Amino acid sequence: MDKLASASGGHLQVNIYGYVPNFAANVVGLSLFAVAWLLHTVFGLYYRQWWFGTAVWIACGLETAGYVARTLSHANPTVINDYLVQIICLTLGPAFAMAGIYYMLAKFTVIYGGQFSKLKPMAYSTIFILFDFISIVLQAIGGGMAAVALLNHTSATNGTHVMLAGICFQVVSMLIFMFFCAWFVYNITFGPTKYGWRYNAEYADLHSRKLFIVFPWSIGVAVLAIFTRCIYRVVELAQGWTGYLITHEQYFLALDGLMLIIALFALLLPHPGFVWGRRHIKVEKFGRPQPLDQNKEG
């Protein structure tokens, strides 16, 4: 951004992207995100998965809006409003997708049993959504600083550093979340034989369902895809607004757009509604599930 000229009449005097967004590629991305948005909307409403459904619905909507703006930018990449819409929406989208995933881990903790988890069920949502909020605030502040610098034709270095700090914070929080996920998966795989733990008998019918077995893997794919995207954005911003990655669209399409498409469709194929239908799985705000009856099978 440091070499960019000031804005005039909603247009920049130079192309802020550093390239002309590819029309066909962005239309494909727009179409896929729109399809994911439609399907997540239908399934979320039908199966009444309110928390997960709302979070992922917002993520799909933001990604769709971002690609609408990128598609429009093909005709005129100097329009600052289109550029700002796409960068804001595509920055916020992954955070909302992760918010839905955090709540799914809380539900899995209830379904399997609190003894398998290091955290209380709702703590996953409370703690990690707070982390995401901090990351979003940092990125928003940094983006605002960079935008002001752009309009005033001054250096955007400080804003870039704040944005970079926000994305780095998101990466660290995701690493912590992935540790808790790995701990949980290890315990549900080896815990019953190693420690004599039993699954929560109240949800014994779910444990034998094929989709229930697949669902944690789909969440894992989604998390890894979003994590890959975050690592890419860290490297991209570290190079600056005129760096190699940010000025070559193919890297953005593959390591940002494609990763979010993979994540959102991974969360769609074994949708939680397919796994437990409209069944209400209560997640206490801070409490663990009730101690299991060791005389029951599960």
Q: Contacts by 22-28 with C-beta closer than 8 Å and gap 24+?
A: 22/74, 22/249, 22/253, 23/71, 23/74, 25/249, 25/253, 26/67, 26/70, 26/71, 26/74, 27/71
Q: In whole angstroms, give the CA distance from residue 290 to residue 2.
A: 57
Give the position of tokens 């014994």.
204
Question: Which long-range contacts does 156-161 make (Cβ < 8 Å, 24+ apart)?
Answer: 156/1, 156/2, 156/241, 157/2, 157/240, 160/1, 160/237, 160/240, 160/241
Answer yes or no: is 23 within a domain: yes
Nearest to 149 by CA among 137, 165, 133, 163: 163
Q: Of 30, 149, 130, 44, whose CA–CA distance to 90 is shortest?
A: 30
Q: 125: domain CATH number?
A: 1.20.1070
268 vs 38: CA distance, rounded Å: 11
Residue 287 pLDDT greater than 80, yes or no: no
Examine residue 294 and state whether it is found in any structural domain, yes or no: no
Lowest-pLDDT range, 61-70, 120-129, 173-182?
120-129
**5 pLDDT higher than 90:** no
Task: Report the share of the chain in percent with pLDDT over 70.
Answer: 90
Residue 11 pLDDT grade (very low, low, confident, very high; cuts 50, 70, 90): low
Domain limits for position 78: 7-276
Residues 6+ apart with CB under 8 A from 237: 160, 163, 164, 167, 246
Residue 92 has pLDDT above 50, yes or no: yes
What local confidence, expressed as pLDDT, does residue 275 receive?
Answer: 85
pTM of the model: 0.87
User: Is 290 within a domain?
Assistant: no
pLDDT in tens, 231-274: 999 999 999 888 999 999 999 999 999 999 999 999 998 888 88
Q: What is the DSSP string of 95-114?
A: HHHHHHHHHHHHHHHHHH-G
**143-159 per-position pLDDT tens digit:** 878 877 766 777 778 88
Percent of the chain with pLDDT over 90: 50
Q: Give the total number of structural domains in the chain.
A: 1
Specify the higher pLDDT residue, 34 or 205.
34
Question: Does 108 have pLDDT greater than 70?
Answer: yes
Q: What tokens were used for 150?
A: 């752009």
Residue 28 lies in a domain: yes
> What does the pLDDT read at residue 6?
41
pLDDT tens column, 169-210: 999 999 999 999 999 989 988 988 888 888 888 888 888 788
Top-confidence residue, 4 or 298? 4
Range scoring the smallest mean pLDDT among 116-125, 143-152, 246-255, 278-287: 278-287
Angle at 249 between CA 228 and CA 6, to 5 degrees: 115
The C-alpha angle with vertex 96 and arms to 210 and 272, in degrees rounded to 5, equals 20
